[in-house]
Structure 1
């Protein structure tokens, strides 16, 4: 028997209402005996009431998260309809509290309505087959929208959003993604990525916002606020701060490779972006799959208790990443068997295991650990208390279901104008020798390059499936650069030249040639590269077109800042990143001047292949040889405009806790535009090595031609804290007293911390 198929799926609206009514007491009838079912009681009271009613086996089940593939087909991660026996094994027998979709796990019909019906069916089975009526929570990696759903709007990946320097935009995107996910019954989103971009070889570089912890933290916190906002009548969604912590610093550049991160780097660079999200109220955190200084993070009590809980104040649910407890045995080799690995991880502070394939094994081994004293009952209660509070806080006990009839309307092509705005704001004009903007009166434009009309490359990894849109999948509705250019100049002859030879031939008589370059899509380890450089073929393509003498605009749709080689000599360079569903239209908006580019690099663009870890905040050294100093092709914060801006009159004032920097921004050009102005602090002398500049704030200022505005940017003096002490210090952080400089553009203003 199957519970879900293409023809029959879950509950109708009336059925949903009936079940919900049966779970929620009318008036106060059940409140006296079952406080946990009384929505008027506090979440804390409800948790304690429910916890005391649960058996040990039921508690342990709440600590397991299992892949949806275990509920369908042959119960072994094969796509197919939900099957009663599979559901029973996971939800009834093992009491599992959470289900997830890995990259590519979707219903047979990958439509929003089918997602909603599938999740309703899973939820219904869970509620009808556990005596305490505890709802499951369904999780998914919605890292750039509801990206597992073919018809969903794919937003730019995070590296492109980082280039917007626009927290308000990130909040709107968070709201949009959350609305789409919740409409299909997904109430746990494994996003945003909080790691910072420190090595271009790393396959997840494009999933980060920036190399800078402050910028990353501000954008991620805004995204969290958007995702967790209460904006409609479904249960709430929880975002996830991931991957705590040090995940993006593998020593050899390969995903999940061992990381060596000194305490100063950990506390001053890695953790601040997470702290911003904790302060924003993020409810869950996903733990780093890798090791840090010789200890797997998901087995580190120092990281998961001392840092995460005691120092940073996080109070929510800590979940492992994919199968990480088992990896303690067969990859990290710090545990002799799975039972021991489970005890190590749970005792360190992991509340829920993304197992994801064997519920019975995990729950039975954790039960054995409790019975033999390897894990205390108190630790189990602590973890389950957090899981239950999450479910109460989100409203899942009152609203466990969604209305499938509303799913398509909230997902299919939703908020595409917002996606277009995001892609345009994140487009960075790296170089312009006077060829941009292109004229809307152009007669002939040649569009060429491997990525000019390639949806898969433009959308990148984590789209429909883990490694990107598979070859046998329908393509998500996407405007490529070719599409965007054609729509921007409908009266021109826009020629698609799919090969280098065709591009050279068609350049004759063209007003300009747009060459769109990029990478094959990928994610995690398969996207690692030892050569983060444009391929020789792509460089030769640019060379050949340049030789025609026509104006050449290179558009880079890449997952990282690749070394450009010969492509750097093009007349204009535009970084479009992985811009999503509306990326082609957004880039055309910039190319033809409908949008004045305002994007700024959230990372440093390397000049040579030997610079994969080049960042603007590198520490000073004694070496004075060539290449020892910060000297990228394009610096952090770089980005050109079709107008010009100046800053002047910089002043700074401080009190015991805060600083305020005031200055005037003027548009000295002939076009309206948006100025992104970063504020840095320098410390001429410090007790330990300090970067030449640290970002403490920024602002976006929209100005008409000739207009000026006085603005102010505030910062907390605590942002200036450093980990002090000698090499063997105790990790203490403090704000050093003495003189500092606030830097805005070419100006600086001094202040003193007393």
Structure 2
């Protein structure tokens, strides 16, 4: 029965009962492995080389079975009434999706959970889907199950929610990013899921864009290094079965022309090659098993249909061997939205021939199978190209161990996920805090402060603190309570004995209470949202929040502003408080982390991974803005807080610096009275360049722990490719190369020149 046909209430009830029984059976068998057959087909032999197993299985498959492997369907199509109602798995629709048109993958999109959202129920559901697929496919091929675990296992109630990527970008710490991704992989794996659609390797250069907070920052090297660390952490997590990482959204997704998500980008080939693509390349070449394709269009061509991106760059230039997958319904969009295909078979042909291996066709398994079959019959797609795509999919499944170990022990899922790695999440959130103002040493909070007023609606709002992609797609759904620590709760727990912490209930109450306070902490921010719903044509602090902060400033008492948001917000009348702490979207341990910094338990080490505009209209903004001849206000790079900005509770100095053709050596010192962690960035610039070049370019960075009074000399090497630019005229038709001549390398206030010959 097709997934979209109505059913009687009685039939639905019977089917749900059958699925409950089947699910229970799957749980009982979850820890069992599929036995290897020493004398069976080669593909069933666990010890055989993967490439030989793939070839053996491929030659046994029919065309229809191969076509099914190239499809990924949303789990909602096999739940409840199979029309996005959720609930228990539906046997009839599982038959359609997993047997009649045997799809190769299932995805739980944002908010698509089992009927009861617990780790054990997730594992039970995934086991049941997997068991049905294996049992009811002729060759017993397992599915690969996907999820967007972008800041922890964020769809699962009870899982620890890490800071969103923009906050992790502020740590400038590949080790923290690696460990956070590994923790996410362990949680994902414990629920039976083996494909995670993270990390994001896009750049954040336009504050209006709704997915700004999903990136690691505006700089290609910073974003690429951290994305590569996330890939390595996810795919080599200790204590977990294998999980495939996904580099997304390849490529140039973050450049919508008007700042709105999925609006086409129009960029020069030089900017594409030199700036937008390197972060993906670094992440891909760290060993990622899959790449998700940009939903948008670049220079008039939808990325899903771009042979240049998916074959020439990704395969031929970068040597990627893994699986490419589209984003949500993007193959169909070639026909329905972009209108570059006359019908669905033609749209499928455009994507597959460009280099797409799997389509996230979340709605219609039958239409996908019939569409690709029609494309083959019309000779639009060759069976050789299908074999190539399916070989990559099967290889990933073999490498993930799905043929031998397709199930997990659902009974262990709750213990493995609930509250796991909260210490790491707290550390990551604390490292992500960026202290931007600290006039008069208002922070850390003085022990003599006996009355602290906490104001602002975001102070006690765990849901917006976690942000979008948390339990639901757009954030925590109404009626759901997210376990975690709000900033208000964190402050109350951290305040020393004898210090009164008062929560102001309204703006007027806050102003009244502040008059008798030693310190007011006002927490401001923006509502949780995702993708297009998170677009912000005017990325500024809301007027009522600006008014609140302005009134608190007028009280004459010290005010510290804490910003909980996925992007820098133009502060307007809220600018100029004695303290300013950018907290990003710090997750379920964010309240503890913010308090750790406010009260001095943690010395802030976060640095801005993006630039903070002074005024609305300065978007897009990034430190690599090219020079021009306009001398008007803010026509050049003139941020409120620059890329790399951030304060500490100690002081640092950069001393002797030397440079050669491979890197720099610099001595750094902690000249203050507290231990701390110092971000050491190295920038390159050119006095003269054949093409326009930014004033400086990040080519290396590290993070160094320095005890109070300690001096240390560090060596930072860089790849010469980090200096490459695309030569030539406006057409940018050349191959990126390193120009000869003088380069100036800078770290802190020290610099040295090197001549590259």
TM-score range, shorter chain: over 0.9
**Structure-2 residue corresponding to 1:376:** 382
User: For residue 649 of structure 2, what is the aligned residue in structure 1?
Assistant: 642
Unaligned runs of 5+ in 1: none
Pick one of 612, 615, 619 that aligns with 1:605. 612
Q: 2:487–2:591: 8 Å Cα contact kept in structure 1?
A: yes
Indicate conservation of the 8 Å contact 1:4/1:121, yes or no.
no
Alignment of structure 1 residues 682-697 onto 2, 5 Å: 682-697=685-700
Match of 1:734, SS?
coil
Report what 1:653 is aligned to: 660
Pick aligned residue for 1:24 from 32, 36, 57: 36
Q: 1:81 to 1:539 in 2, by over 3 A?
A: same
Match of 1:395 among 391, 401, 405: 401
Match of 1:398, SS state, is coil
Partners in 2 of 1:7 and 1:111 — Cα distance? 19
Name the TM-score, length of structure 1 as normaliser: 0.97
> Which of 572, 581, 590 is equivalent to 1:583?
590
Instruction: Indicate if the aligned counterparts of 2:152 and 2:159 stay in contact, CA closer than 8 A.
Output: yes
Give the Å deviation of 1:2.
Answer: 3.5
Asked whether 1:197 is paired with 2:197, we answer no
Partners of 1:4 and 1:548 in 2: how far apart?
66
Render the CA deviation track for 1:455-491: whole Å, top value 9, x for unaligned: 1110110000000001122x22111110010000152
Shift of 1:192: 0.7
Q: Secondary structure at the match of 1:16?
A: coil
Cα contact 2:269–2:733 (8 A) shared by 1: no
Question: Which of 1, 12, 16 is equivalent to 1:2?
Answer: 16
Is residue 698 from structure 1 mapped to residue 701 from structure 2 by the alignment? yes
Equivalent-residue separation in structure 2 for 1:209 and 1:176 (angstroms): 18
Checking the alignment, whether the CA contact within 8 Å between 1:240 and 1:282 is kept in structure 2 is: yes
Matches within 5 A, 1:294-693: 294-433=300-439, 434-473=441-480, 475-491=481-497, 492-654=499-661, 659-693=662-696
> Once the 2 structures are TM-superposed, how far is the Cα of residue 509 of structure 1 from its aligned partner?
2.4
Report the Cα offset of residue 730 of structure 1.
2.0
8 Å Cα contact 1:196-1:209 kept in structure 2: yes
Instruction: Report the CA distance shift for 1:703/1:4 in structure 2 as closer, same or farther (over 3 A).
Output: farther
SS of the residue corresponding to residue 171 of structure 2 reads coil
1:4–1:82: 8 Å Cα contact kept in structure 2?
no
2:48 to 36, 41, 48: 41
- Residue 279 of structure 1 corresponds to which residue in structure 2? 285
- Secondary structure in 1 matching 2:56: helix
Cα distance, 1:10 vs structure 2: 4.0
Q: Is the 8 A contact 1:643 1:672 kept in 2?
A: yes
Q: Deviations over 1:34-82 (max 9, x none)?
A: 1111111111111001000000000000000000011121122221211
Partner residue in 2 for 1:153: 160
Whole-angstrom distance in 2 between the partners of 1:496 and 1:286: 45
On the 8 A contact 2:185/2:240 being kept in 1, the answer is no
**Could you state the TM-score of these two structures normalised by the residue count of structure 2?**
0.96
Cα contact 2:447–2:496 (8 A) shared by 1: no
| CA distance in 2: counterparts of 1:472 and 1:16, whole angstroms | 32
User: Deviations for 1:65-116, whole angstroms, at most 9, x for unmatched residues?
Assistant: 0000111211222212111111100000001010001110000110000000
Deviation at 1:245, TM superposition (A): 0.6
Q: Which residue of 2 aligns with 1:735?
A: 738
SS at match of 1:472: coil
C-alpha distance in 1 between matches for 2:453 and 2:191: 42
How far residue 6 of structure 1 moved from its aligned partner, in angstroms, is 6.8
Q: Displacement of 1:625 after TM fit? A: 2.4
> C-alpha displacement at 1:496, in angstroms?
0.7
Q: Deviations over 1:525-558 (max 9, x none)?
A: 0110110000111010001111111100000001
CA distance in 1, matches of 2:240, 2:634: 57
For the 8 Å contact 2:185–2:237, the answer to whether it is kept is no
Q: Is the 8 A contact 2:144 2:195 kept in 1?
A: yes
Q: Give 1:717's aligned residue.
A: 720
Aligned to 1:77: 84
Check the 8 A contact 1:725/1:732 in 2, yes or no. no
Deviation, 1:669, is 0.9
Deviations 1:199-254 (A, max 9, x none): 000000000001000000000100110000052363x1001000001110000000
Matches of 1:72 and 1:464, distance apart in 2: 18
Distance 1:17 1:452 in 2: 44
Match of 1:163, SS state, is: helix
**1:256 maps to which of 255, 262, 265:** 262
CA distance in 2, matches of 1:579, 1:362: 40
The count of residues paired between Structure 1 and Structure 2 equals 741
Does the 8 Å contact 2:681/2:700 carry over to 1? yes
Question: In the alignment, does 2:752 pair up with 1:749?
Answer: yes
Kept in 2, the 8 Å contact 1:220–1:277? The answer is yes
Q: Is the 8 A contact 2:189 2:240 kept in 1?
A: no
SS at match of 2:475: coil
2:297 maps to what in 1?
Answer: 291
Query: What is residue 166 of structure 1 aligned with on the other side?
Result: 173
Q: Secondary structure at the match of 1:517?
A: strand
Conservation of the 8 A alpha-carbon contact between 2:31 and 2:409: no
Native 8 Å contact 1:3 1:10 kept in 2: no
- Structure 2 distance, partners of 1:499, 1:56, is 65
The question of 1:247 aligning with 2:259 is answered: no
CA RMSD of aligned residues (A): 1.3
Between the aligned partners of 1:308 and 1:683, the Cα distance in structure 2 is 30
What is the deviation of 1:330? 1.8
Question: CA 1:115–1:540 in 2, change beyond 3 Å: closer, same or farther?
Answer: same
Contact kept, 8 Å, 1:199 with 1:253, in 2: the verdict is yes
Instruction: Say which is worse superposed, 523-532 or 620-629, in terms of deviation.
Output: 620-629
Work out whether residues 328 and 360 of structure 2, in 8 Å CA contact, stay in contact via their aligned partners in 1.
Answer: yes
Q: How far has the Cα of 1:670 moved from its partner?
A: 1.2
Deviation larger for 625-634 or 242-251: 625-634
Deviation at 1:441, TM superposition (A): 4.3
Given that 1:263 and 1:731 are in contact with CA atoms closer than 8 Å, whether structure 2 keeps it comes out as: no
1:733 aligned counterpart, secondary structure: coil
Measure how far apart 1:314 and its partner are.
1.3
Q: Spell out, residue by residue over 1:420-473, the C-alpha distance to the aligned partner (whole angstroms, 9 max, x if none).
A: 001100000011102111024421111011201011110110000000001122
Instruction: Report SS of the residue matched to 2:669.
Output: strand
